[in-house]
Amino acid sequence: MKVHYGFESYKNIKNPIVTVGTFDGVHYGHQKIIQRLQKIAKKNNGESVLLTFDPHPRKVLFNDQGLKLIHTIDEKINILKNLGLDHLVIYPFTKYFSKFTAKRYIDELLIKELMTHTLVIGYDHHFGNDREGNIGLLKKHEKSNPFNLEEIKAHEIEEIKVSSTKVRRAIEKGNIHLVRDYCGHYYEFSGKVIHGNGIGKTIGTATANIQLKSNEKIIPLDGVYAVICQIGNVDFKGIMNIGYKPTVNEGEKRTIEIHLFNFEKDIYGFDMRAKVIERIRDEVKFNSIEELKIQISKDNNIAKTILESF
C-alpha cells in the first residue's frame, strides 16, 4: 500500500476506485467497503484508493477535543496495509476545506485530484459545506459526472451491525473482547516506557509505566488486563493495570502500568506496543499491601492462562 500525504505523490494511478471516510477502528463495515473496492478495481483493471482525513473532522467542525480515537493515524495505516488496499490518501481537514461546497468538493477533490474512475460510498455519506452533498446529489448529476457511482445500500451496512461509535463504547466500558468481534483485530496502543516511582519493585512486581504517543487515543476502562507487548520485533506476554492504584495511595494521576512475565531487562526510554487481549477485573482498593500482593499473584495466573494459546 502506498501512503500519500496530500496529492503530491498521487500520480499515474490506474482507474482509481475511490471511497472516502475516517475509518476509525477499521471495523468489519469498513473492511466490507474495502473488499468492494478491490472487487471493482479487479474488474476494471484499476487500483483501490481510500481518502481519509487528519485530524478527525469532528475536532474541526465541532471543536470536539474530547473525542478519543480507536486508532492513531499510524495504527490505521498498519491495519489498512494488511487489508491489501493499494493507496491511502491522508488529507488535512481544515476549516477552509470544510467550507467547500458539494460541487467544489466533487470538482476539485473527486475529479481533479483523485481522478476518480468509480466512487464507492454508503447511503448515508455526506460531504461539503453543511453536509449538503450526499448520494442523492451524486445520483442527480450522475450522467454529468465523469466517474461511475457505486452505492453501498443501507441493508449491507446494517447487517454488519457495527460502527466506530459502537467500538469506542465497548472500549470505554471495558468490553475489550468485543473489539475483535467488531473489527477482527485486538485493541492496541503504543507508548514510551518512562520512570514511575518504583512501588512495583517493592512488592515484587516490577512494572513499566507507559506514556502514550497520542493524547487522542481512547483508553479502556480502569482495571486489569491480559496483554501481549512488542518491544522491537519481539513479543512478550504480560499483565496491565489502568487506573489510580488506590491501595498504595498514589493520588489522582491515572497511569498505565505493564508487568511483563519472565522479563528483567532495563527498557526505560524504549517504545512499547501493547495488544490488549482480555479484561480480568476492576481496579480495587485492598485493605493492605499483603492483600494486594495475593491478588496480583492470582491475576498473573489468570493472565497466563488467557495467554497460553498466543
User: pLDDT (tens digit, 9 = 90+) per residue, 49-85?
Assistant: 999 999 999 888 887 778 899 999 999 999 999 999 9
207 occurs within a structural domain: yes
| Confidence at residue 210, expressed as pLDDT on a 0 to 100 scale | 95
Domains identified in the chain, total number? 2
Claim to verify: residue 157 and residue 9 sit in the same structural domain: yes
Claim to verify: residue 27 and residue 90 sit in the same structural domain: yes
| Confidence at residue 253, expressed as pLDDT on a 0 to 100 scale | 84
Claim to verify: residue 142 and residue 261 sit in the same structural domain: no
Claim to verify: residue 71 and residue 195 sit in the same structural domain: no
Amino acid at 89: V
User: Which of 195, 191, 190 is closest to 207 using CA atoms?
Assistant: 195
Rg for the chain, CA atoms, rounded: 23
Strands 87-92 and 47-54: parallel
In degrees, rounded to 5, the angle at the alpha carbon of residue 31 between the alpha carbons of residues 29 and 32 is 65
Claim to verify: residue 194 and residue 161 sit in the same structural domain: no
Grid cell for residue 135 = 448520494
| Confidence at residue 299, expressed as pLDDT on a 0 to 100 scale | 96
196: domain range? Answer: 186-309
230 occurs within a structural domain: yes
174 occurs within a structural domain: no
Q: What is the CATH number of the domain that holds 305?
A: 2.40.30.30
- Judge contact between 138 and 152, C-beta under 8 A: no
Q: What single string gives the DSSP state of each residue in 205-249? A: ---EEEEES-TTB--PPSEEEEEEEEETTEEEEEEEEEE--GGGT
pLDDT in tens, the chain (310 residues): 999 999 999 999 999 999 999 999 999 999 999 999 999 999 999 999 999 999 999 888 887 778 899 999 999 999 999 999 999 999 999 999 999 999 999 999 999 999 999 999 987 888 999 889 898 888 887 778 899 999 888 677 667 778 999 999 999 999 999 999 999 999 999 999 998 766 666 666 788 999 998 888 999 999 999 999 999 999 999 999 999 888 877 667 889 999 999 998 889 999 999 999 999 999 998 888 899 999 999 999 999 999 999 9
- Output the average pLDDT for the chain: 91
Cα dihedral across residues 11, 13, 16, 19: positive or negative: negative
Calculate the dihedral angle through the C-alpha atoms of 211, 213, 168, 78, rounding to the nearest 10 degrees: -130
78 occurs within a structural domain: yes
179 occurs within a structural domain: no
Claim to verify: residue 147 and residue 201 sit in the same structural domain: no
| Confidence at residue 243, expressed as pLDDT on a 0 to 100 scale | 93
Claim to verify: residue 151 and residue 194 sit in the same structural domain: no
